[in-house]
Amino acid sequence: MPSDQQSSHAVAIPPKRKLPMHWLGVLPFLIFVTLFLIMPTMRIVLGAFQTPDGGLTLDNIRGLFKPSIIAAYWISIKISLASALLGCAIGFAVSAAVVLGGLPRVIRGPLLTFSGVASNFAGVPLAFAFLATLGPVGLLTVFLRTQFGLDLRMLGFNLLSFWGLTLTYLFFQIPLMILIITPALDGLKREWKEAASILGATGLQYWRMVAFPILFPSLLGTLALLFANAFGAVATAIALTGSSLNIVPILLFAQIRGDVLGDPHLGYALAFGMIVITGIANAIYIWLRARSERWLK
């Protein structure tokens, strides 16, 4: 039997530390994000400040201030802003009609389901769909010309243009707006409207003084998100317009595709500029969304 002195010198064996099992559920997501988001982003950032032989330089960043590149960024910003503003306005109207306008509840389920699918419908399939519908020999274009004598080109519409690309972007911008703003509209408490009515406020005064101030951070945040969504859309722009419209995604594709005039490191700098712009827009969205959620709780 051990003595008290011996037992006092006994060293307690620390329990084995086990990795919480619930982390295994997010492990595939962390691996996916690391391989396909973080590592490519870091490669782009490093490539924007490197020479072809691996040295450090700022010449690639200085190249972004060429008039042609600044013009490409400006066109991309205008297209993104136009599609974001129109997407916010139309999506808000549709969502408000379903949530607050007294439309049958049966419409809400199919609308949100379609919005979830359409908000992710982009790239070559979307470009082909619009070319087949509104292109020079598209279904709707030919129908209007043969049946009503309306020539969309004579009226000034061209799918391979600023407004043509903006219209195409609306196909996924409007559904994304519906998905984001619907929960915010659901969060408007009925008691707020009843209290405003008891105090003598009209419907317009309620929206101007109560509802819109509460929804304003969500609206601005969603506008920033839609802007980032359109600004980063590469495949749709390339598949639809090719090289006919000088926007940043098309200019980026021309720099990295490996032809004689291509400059991959300038392409990295172009991508780095896009990351900065979309990152700022997403940061604004996250900040404003957090402010809005505090009101709607």
pLDDT at residue 86 in the model: 96
Is residue 153 a part of any domain in this protein?
A: yes
pLDDT at residue 26 in the model: 83
Q: What does the alpha-carbon distance between residue 225 and residue 6 come to, in Å, rounded to a whole number?
A: 68
Is residue 15 a part of any domain in this protein?
A: no
pLDDT at residue 5 in the model: 53
pLDDT at residue 6 in the model: 53
pLDDT at residue 3 in the model: 53
Q: What does the alpha-carbon distance between residue 254 and residue 241 come to, in Å, rounded to a whole number?
A: 13
Q: What is the pLDDT of residues 92-114, one digit of tens each?
A: 999 999 988 877 888 888 999 99
Is residue 49 a part of any domain in this protein?
A: no
Q: What is the CA radius of gyration of the chain?
A: 27
Which domain does 154 fall in, by range?
A: 67-296
Q: pTM (2 decimals)? A: 0.83
Question: CB of 228 within 8 A of CB of 243?
Answer: no
Number of domains in the chain: 1
Q: What is the pLDDT of residues 196-207, one digit of tens each?
A: 888 888 888 888
Find tokens 């030919």 and name the residue: 142
Q: What does the alpha-carbon distance between residue 162 and residue 14 come to, in Å, rounded to a whole number?
A: 67
Is residue 140 a part of any domain in this protein?
A: yes
Is residue 240 a part of any domain in this protein?
A: yes
Q: What does the alpha-carbon distance between residue 130 and residue 125 come to, in Å, rounded to a whole number?
A: 9
What residues of the chain score a pLDDT lower than 70? 1-20, 257-262, 295-297
Question: CB of 20 within 8 A of CB of 237?
Answer: no
Is residue 45 a part of any domain in this protein?
A: no
Report the sign of the C-alpha dihedral through residues 97, 102, 104, 106, in that order.
positive
Choose among 183, 186, 289: nearest CA to 228: 289
Is residue 233 a part of any domain in this protein?
A: yes
pLDDT at residue 136 in the model: 85
Q: What CATH number did the domain enclosing 119 receive?
A: 1.10.3720.10
Is residue 55 a part of any domain in this protein?
A: no
